[in-house]
Amino acid sequence: MKLAAPPTLGSRFVAALPGDAEKENRSRQVSNALYTPVLPEAVSDPRLLMLSPTLSAELGLDEAFCQSDSFARLMSGNELFPGVVPFATRYGGHQFGHWAGQLGDGRAINLGELVARDGRFMNLQLKGAGPTPYSRGADGRAVLRSSAREFLCSEAMHFLGVPTTRALSLVLTGDQVVRDMFYDGNPQKEPGAIVCRVAPSFTRFGHFQLCAYWGELDLLRLLIHQCIRDDFPHLGAPTIDSGKDLSRDLMLRWFEEICQSTARMIVHWMCLGFVHGVMNTDNMSVLGLTIDYGPYGWLDHFDPEWTPNTTDAQTRRYRYAEQPDIALWNLYQLANALLPVLEDVPSVEKILQAFPLFYENEWFNRMGEKLGLEDRSGDEGRALIRDLVGLLTLRETDMTLFFRALADLPLMGDVGQDIAVLQHTFYGSEPVEGEHLEQLSGWLQRYEARVKQEAQSPAQRHERMNRVNPWFILRNYLVQEALDRVQEVGDFSGLHALHAVLQSPYAEHKDFPGFHRKRPDWARHRAGASMLSCSS
């Protein structure tokens, strides 16, 4: 059978913006440019390990082509798509609250964009394909454990309904990569791998920040114009070559949309118990997409102070409860970068000051959905939600299992029966007692009264709650178990099983009961099963 030819790729980013005049691929500072042309570095034996069938179909890629050796070579950078001029982009950012200067795509190489079946432009980017001028002396490679986590979590978030970058493929390189996972002076060789990430745009807050920092205002103005024209076409920006400048009103509407999409993304994270782990400004997408899956994690037991990032273990800047405030702090940094062009401090401040209330309303609405409430606007429902958050901290409670179990409550006036349904969601075998029993009983009585007030049938409530409370989340320990089997016996079946289940996270998978359980004790403090480092 004849394989479909690979599509031709282009790049509106490259076409509209100035590139680096120097072509040598060496670590250096780059000025007055937004990207540097750079070729991926060949690997010895590219082999496709995982593919997103839904994404490949959305991109219009032929199924047989995606299983071919040619596709593996393209997804490793050993071959190039027609029309491709690979490039790495230049940006800066605040890391852990401190200005870090130039950062850029240190191990990501952009291939360009194609037009998907729905008409959207989608950019393809190889992560781990070799060094770029922004690698800061590193090798630009990635190892299997981090690449598998990124592939799986990108797709898991998509199927959960969270705004995110996607992952098209995971390719083994056949090469070994040296990494010091624990930063303890004991580097080890690990199998290398490359993820192909896909998004409408990979433009970050940090792209604008670095232009502003260096006073490159013409470049900043051009980047704003390109971003609005290409990534926010519904705003109706004039073409760049029209000679018409962007109006201040249009730019303000653009900034407000960035703030609101960022807020919605964080609401999704918080309501599912996801912790990004490294919310630096260079890891924030202007499209409000979750990007850069490094030391991420999911709340096993509900702990507002938890962070999955070992680098952040002391200050916990990026802990679960802090994510909304960090998002706003990051938006302030973006605003400071844009003000030399926007030149309207009062309007920008007004947009930023509206963020907390916008976020709060979105969060209450989403949490009300998780409780199965039809009316989510009143003070009574909001009080019920607030009190539940406090209740979940009284005893170690598995957040995912708890919300899923709420749909199964009889709510027939017998609080003891309801608590029995919830018992498996609490860590430890001891019965519910003391303050926890008192507060949980009181909350369940209020919840039952509210549900009966809305006159929902048990079947209606069960169905609507299970649409928004997942049966499956990609817990770190599950991925670690699968990676252990790869390392010990070369068995990749665990990774494939996770990939299969994550594509329908709200359905009950009776063939995989082990994917719907509390974190085992062995995983509580084990590296990779709970917290992760930034090393890859």
Position 245 pLDDT exceeds 80: yes
Position 278 pLDDT exceeds 60: yes
Look up the pTM and report it.
0.97
What are 98's strand-pairing partners? 95
Catalytic residue among 105, 230, 282, 398: 282
Q: What is the pLDDT of residue 42?
A: 97
Average pLDDT over residues 251-277: 98
Confidence of residue 183 (pLDDT cuts 50, 70, 90): low
Q: What is the pLDDT of residues 363-416, one digit of tens each?
A: 999 999 999 998 887 899 999 999 999 999 999 999 999 999 999 999 999 999
Q: What is the pLDDT of residue 66?
A: 96
Q: What is the pLDDT of residue 181?
A: 72
**Integer Cα distance of 357 and 260 in angstroms:** 11
Average pLDDT over residues 169-186: 87
Average pLDDT over the chain reads: 95
Above pLDDT 70, what percent of the chain? 99
Average pLDDT over residues 106-128: 97
Instruction: Annotate 410-476 with DSSP letters as a single string.
Output: --SS-HHHHHHHHGGGBSSSSPP-HHHHHHHHHHHHHHHHHHHHTT--HHHHHHHHHTTS-S----H
Average pLDDT over residues 4-27: 93
Confidence of residue 536 (pLDDT cuts 50, 70, 90): very low
Position 535 pLDDT exceeds 70: no
Pairing of strands 35-37, 121-127: unpaired
Position 125 pLDDT exceeds 80: yes
Determine the straight-line distance between the first and last CA of the chain, rounded to whole angstroms.
Answer: 39
Q: Determine contact, residues 168/75, Cβ cutoff 8 Å.
A: yes
Average pLDDT over residues 419-448: 97
State yes or no: is 282 an active-site residue: yes
Above pLDDT 90, what percent of the chain? 91
**Which pair of tokens denotes residue 478?**
């599950």
Q: What is the pLDDT of residues 216-234, one digit of tens each?
A: 999 999 999 999 999 999 9
Average pLDDT over residues 237-243: 89
Helical ranges in 195-247 per DSSP H: 205-213, 217-231
Q: What is the pLDDT of residue 2?
A: 45
Q: What is the pLDDT of residue 202?
A: 98
42: nearest Cα among 15, 72, 4, 87: 72
**Integer Cα distance of 470 and 458 in angstroms:** 18
Instruction: Tell me which DSSP letter residue 99 carries.
Output: E
Q: What Cα–Cα distance (Å) separates residue 37 from each residue in 90, 226, 234, 524?
A: 11, 19, 30, 44
Q: What is the pLDDT of residue 182?
A: 64
Confidence of residue 357 (pLDDT cuts 50, 70, 90): very high
Q: What is the pLDDT of residue 1?
A: 36
Position 132 pLDDT exceeds 80: yes
Q: For 273, phi and psi rounded to 5 degrees?
A: 80, 25
